[in-house]
Structure 1
């Protein structure tokens, strides 16, 4: 029997991205944006489940190939890395089935993925559930701006009022929805040799009702540089790149499972095949960067608390 894990790949959560014309009006109410949000989650949730299915059953053909694990001093947990290539023929099938516009150049879509399981504790080498909620669900862009050295600027370009909207996906109810368009400017190593990259994405977060689980979906907005919504994308000295990602954080037993998968194209002179070789290592480093940063933030907060107590009359 077919399950959501065996559902054909969809047209929305793709590297070819969305256009601003496909977005709901920013003054649309929760009921008006519900079909759009539902379509995005209906594609992204089974995609993350194909990496680590909740029921332990692997789909008939997940396509994920595991690479050697990575370890870092800042993380008590190892980081598993995977790769999945969506072939041009599979993308052609999506285009034909869904009647979507064909990109000018159709190349293999390479997805890099990482998975790690952390102790639910605000301690060195790990992070608590509350810290994951605060930094990844409630303030995702702001947190990544703070702990990622390559980020030189970021902003929200648009947002929607999701209100108390809840959507049902395969029998599960998702709530606490937040949706924005974000722009981020990155430095690209080696410094001075390559132009900065600006990425524009539609970011959607949602929490599974009645469970400790949330997802964050980022889909490339491919015409932001020519849209009134764009700002960083219009600055001189930057190349407009693209990435689409899906992220899931959930409690499993005594730990917290953290999954992120992305397909990206930095554009410019960098060949896609060169980028693909580097991306798995780059996204794995997000784990120690976040855990190292959050440990420093804890220490800073504790120091401020001690100073406050000392100065109390």
Structure 2
């Protein structure tokens, strides 16, 4: 059996979704590979970035961010509650570009198809990203939570009912693996690796040039939102 590979090209159709085990395994493998990626800039003094050029089977280059957060900044349970459960709904609250989110289909309690609508300042048209998100929480030491997002294509006739739930806009694609790990001192290591294309006519060189900075912004956006909830 061919090993499942994380890529944006081609996006999966619902009928072709592999097992949750295969998806999580692919995510773990990718995160292991990030250790050898090219080191990039550090943002906000805490978010370290790295990247890997587009390889065989990839639809676009890969980018990664990693940060460590002390227990007083956020606990494992606080982070997993917002990242591991209904993540797109929470992202809508802390990522300014996301203005609409819809759950398209719940495959299992830990596997769901979501569609996210991004609105940008003109002249950039709205973008729609439809993904399958698979989550897994391991209570074995070190406690680890992982979220894998894979692009989904709903254009087949048999998926028409699901496609009706998608917002209108240029279809983009992204694949990502996000993981939080509780370290021995109680701190949380937060890592995310992603490969994406916004679709449309935005030059890929501009997308790649800004990607490290863009993904690093999610960390302070999330932390500021999380702390606001606790006031």
One fold, TM greater than 0.5? Answer: yes
Larger Rg: 1
1:207-228 deviations in Å (ceiling 9; x for gaps): 1242310100000013359732
The 1:10–1:115 alpha-carbon spacing in structure 2 relative to 1, beyond 3 Å, is farther
1:215-254 deviations in Å (ceiling 9; x for gaps): 000000133597321245352xx10110000011001122
Report whether the alignment pairs 1:147 with 2:94: yes
Aligned to 1:19: 13
RMSD of Structure 2 on Structure 1 (CA): 2.0
Unaligned runs of 5+ in 1: 1-8, 24-34, 53-61, 72-76, 92-106, 163-177, 300-313
The 5 A counterparts of 1:1-313 are: 10-16=3-9, 17-23=11-17, 36-52=19-35, 62=36, 64-71=37-44, 78-87=46-55, 90-91=56-57, 109-121=60-72, 126-161=73-108, 178-188=110-120, 191-211=121-141, 212-223=143-154, 227-228=159-160, 229-231=162-164, 233-235=166-168, 238-254=169-185, 255-299=187-231
SS for the counterpart of 2:166 is helix
In the alignment of these two chains, the number of paired residues is: 225
In 2, Cα distance between equivalents of 1:141 and 1:231 = 19
Q: What per-residue deviation string (whole Å, max 9, x for no partner) do you get for residues 177-211 of structure 1?
A: x00000000012xx121110000000000012423
Cα distance between partner residues in 2 of 1:147 and 1:234: 20
Other structure's SS at 2:34 match: coil
Change (3 A) 1:234 1:136: closer
Tell me the distance in 1 between the aligned counterparts of 2:136 and 2:59: 29
What TM-score do the two structures reach when normalised by structure 1?
0.67
CA 234–224 in structure 1, closer or farther in 2 if over 3 Å, else same:
farther
Partner secondary structure for residue 233 of structure 1? coil
Partner of 1:4: none
CA deviations over 1:284-305 (Å, ceiling 9, x no partner): 0000000111111111xxxxxx
Does the CA contact (< 8 Å) of 2:4 and 2:22 recur in 1?
no
Q: Larger relative contact order (C-alpha < 8 A, sep ≥ 6)?
A: 2
Tell me the TM-score normalized by structure 2: 0.90
Runs of 4+ aligned structure 1 residues displaced above 6 Å come to: none
